[in-house]
Chains A and B, each alone.
Chain A
Amino acid sequence: MSRAAPGAGAVARRWPAGRAVGVGALIVLVVLAVLPLLGGTSNATLLTLTLMLTSIGVAINWNLTGGFTGYVDFGHAVWFGIGAYATAILISLQSNGPQVGWPPVPAILVGALVAGFLAAIIGRATMRLKGPYFSIAMLGTFVALREIVRVWSPLTGGGVGLTLPPYLNRMLFYYVELALVAALVVGTWWLRRTRFGAALMAIREDEVGAETRGIDTTLLKTAVFSFAGLSTGLFGALWAYQNTFVDPDIAFVEVRTIDAVMGTMLGGLGTVAGPVLGAAALYWVRELLWTHLLDAHLLAQGVLLIVIVLFVPRGLVGLVDRRGTSLFELWGWKGWRLEGRRLHRGPAAGGEAEAAS
């Protein structure tokens, strides 16, 4: 970490000690990949790790719209539910008596595609809205789609849900999800370097400006939103298979959105490492809270959310790297900025003051 010394006025550095972090990430990946091969890893441990990977994956996807593009989605878990349900429906398709379901791999892939497709349609409409209006519209999408799934019983089994044929190779699911998460991390890391990533940041900071500079903001933000939906749908599809059972209240859970938002916040909004670190940390904190506090764990989580938002707005990554996105620069409140640990209102030091000179 010796290269991490924050140089005064250094602008171009996006990544705290890039190489050290890269090597660290690789080591973690190798450890996670080798761990189950050492033997003695129980199915329960594998399941716990897989669920953690799911949580990380969903947080990364949430960060694509919420962090990179500035569209804070309060209903992201809906794509998880849609992916899970689409897969479950395909697998348990009935054809006059004997079960004629799809084989798992195409069912999972098509399930994810259904989620991505729906995300494209809904995103096209809701992404016309800004700030809190978008957030609440997505919360509405979530609640509405859950009700539709509950009501549409011929297809979805209604409130009773659907049962999938058991296929319980925990090891396989673990490796698939590990590979997915690794791919997502590399993908977002690359994305931030590309023109596409720059355009997303431009949309987040000033959408009208981006539009007048020739960026097709509608196309790009809808594309990102759809991809996030597809990817979260994929995790949902995999989850449905492992869970062997879906009903509206376990496939569409608010907590999944809350976890993604909180994990990303905790780690650092709009950063590559943020959602990974944050979601992993949150996952273990929650396991801990769950075992010790039982029902009160939600209470602890609410308190934690408030504390993060009020006191650690740049998240874990922000503690190391000064250049992460601060919450306070989102949604037009450019007047606020974080200097050191304090919030200041007014222009940054050395900003407007020079205008007169």
Chain B
Amino acid sequence: MSYFAQALINGIALGGMYTILVLGFSIIWGVMGVINLAHGEFVMVGAYLAWMASDFWDVDPFVSAPAVFAVMLLFGYLVQRVLVNRIIDRPALVSLLVMFGISIILQSVMKVTFSADFRLANTDLDGAWRLTDRLTVPVTRFWVLVVAVGVTAGLNLFLGRSRLGKSIRAAAQNREAARIVGVDIRKVYAVTFALCIGLTGVAGALISPLLAVQPFQGPPLTLKAFAITAMAGLGSVRGALGGAMVLGLVEAMLALYVDRIGTNLAVVASFVLLVAALVLRPQGIFKGLRHVDATST
């Protein structure tokens, strides 16, 4: 029983990590209709930034996260201006392939710069809290969860209340109508993309003490982000939280009950969840910013 409780705690903690990982991906897809296949690579770049801060100047990732956010915001804005702007209205295949090209480029640049060695950032918020003699709470993951919930709540407020947030939602729901009432679509897209890449960088910074930082860590993260988003509804902030928790719990249970190899099977689990969710419920579970319909063209 305490094993189960432990898996529950691990699963929720993992879900927190996935929440912050998926938000940027989900909103870009929901608002702009672009599937960011380079998502995992943006996470990876953020993680490298945090690792550099930790390794060179001994700055804790939780402290450097705002700086990483700023740098990635700028980077996202640049990528948007140079490339993403050109593909927004294009067919899905074009944007998929261009984003795929970006992901290859980022992997290659990081490999050439940092080699393929595995790195980990150091954080003071590590170790585990002992609840009973069988139950522990992983400290780093706990704080990631706290940040994730905070960011989720903040985003919800921002999208729901602020003027800019409302324009973003309007642009996602009906571009033409939004344009007619005076929303500057190009600006909204630029802000959305930059903001989401900033967020994604923060996700990278936060997981840099948890997951090995290396040039090829991206694709599984992209895949998980896709699985959660398609399950939960495109651009749905609450859906991202819910979907991330489901995936986190499934993975934690697998790790617990399938001895040793359970963690390797996690990516299999997310794939099975993805296909099952899409086939059984093509329109998504939560109501998102954009209509999900996986089985009709």
Contacts and interface: CB of A to CB of B under 8 A. Distances in A.
Partners in one complex: yes
Nearest to A328: B91
Interface stretch (B51-59, B117-125, B162-170, B260-268): B260-268
Interface stretch (B132-140, B173-181, B218-226): B218-226
Given A125-B275, A305-B100, A330-B91, A295 B265 contact: no
B187 interface: no
Nearest to B29: A132
Contact of B275 (A131, A137, A208): A137
Given A136-B223, A141-B271, A327 B93 contact: yes
B230 interface: yes
Given A131-B92, A144-B271, A332 B104 contact: no
Interface in A95-136: 125-126, 128-133, 135-136
Nearest to A297: B108
B272 A144 contact: yes
The majority secondary structure among interface residues of chain A is helix
Nearest to B33: A132
B35 A132 contact: yes
B98 A306 contact: yes
B186 interface: no
B101 A306 contact: yes
B264 A295 contact: no
B114 to A, nearest CB: 11
B297 A332 contact: yes
Contact of B102 (A132, A143, A306, A336): A306
Given A129-B294, A143-B223, A258-B104, A295 B98 contact: no
B294 A133 contact: yes
A224 interface: no
A295 B296 CA distance: 41
Contacts of A333: 90-91
Contacts of A128: 279, 295
Contacts of A133: 230, 278, 294-295
B227 interface: yes
Contacts of B112: 295-296, 299
Contacts of A302: 101-105, 108
A35 interface: no
A5 interface: no
A282 interface: no
B35 A327 contact: no
A216 to B, nearest CB: 17
Given A139-B223, A151-B261, A336-B90, A132 B267 contact: no
Nearest to A261: B97
A313 to B, nearest CB: 8
A265 B274 contact: no
Contact of B279 (A129, A131, A132, A309): A129
Given A140-B270, A147-B264, A302-B102, A295 B111 contact: yes
A129 B92 contact: no
Contacts of A309: 94, 97-98, 101
Nearest to A309: B97
Contacts of B219: 139, 143, 254
Interface residues on A, range: 35 or more
Nearest to A307: B101
B278 to A, nearest CB: 6
Interface string A247-289: 0000000100010010001000000000000000000000000
Which has the most chain A C-beta neighbours within 10 Å: B101, B219, B270, B279? B101
Nearest to A72: B93
B63 interface: no
A305 B296 contact: no
A331 B297 contact: yes
B297 A129 contact: no
A330 B93 contact: yes
Interface string A138-182: 011101100110110000000000000000000000000000000
Nearest to A295: B112
B272 A331 contact: no
A295 to B, nearest CB: 5
B83 interface: yes
Contact of B108 (A74, A131, A150, A295): A295
A332 B86 CA distance: 18
B97 A305 contact: yes
Nearest to A294: B112
A143 B218 CA distance: 12
Nearest to A66: B93
Nearest to B86: A310
Contact of A147 (B83, B98, B265): B265
B192 interface: no
A355 interface: no
A271 B197 CA distance: 37
A126 B275 contact: yes
A313 B105 CA distance: 20
B90 A328 contact: yes
B96 interface: yes
7 contacts: A129-B278, A129-B294, A151-B265, A258-B100, A298-B104, A299-B105, A309-B101
Given A136-B226, A137-B271, 15 more contacts: A129-B275, A130-B295, A131-B297, A132-B92, A137-B275, A140-B270, A140-B275, A147-B268, A265-B97, A299-B105, A301-B108, A305-B97, A306-B97, A310-B86, A330-B93
Interface of B: 35, 83, 86-87, 90-94, 96-98, 100-105, 107-109, 111-112, 219-220, 223, 226-227, 230, 261, 264-265, 267-268, 270-272, 274-275, 278-279, 282, 294-297
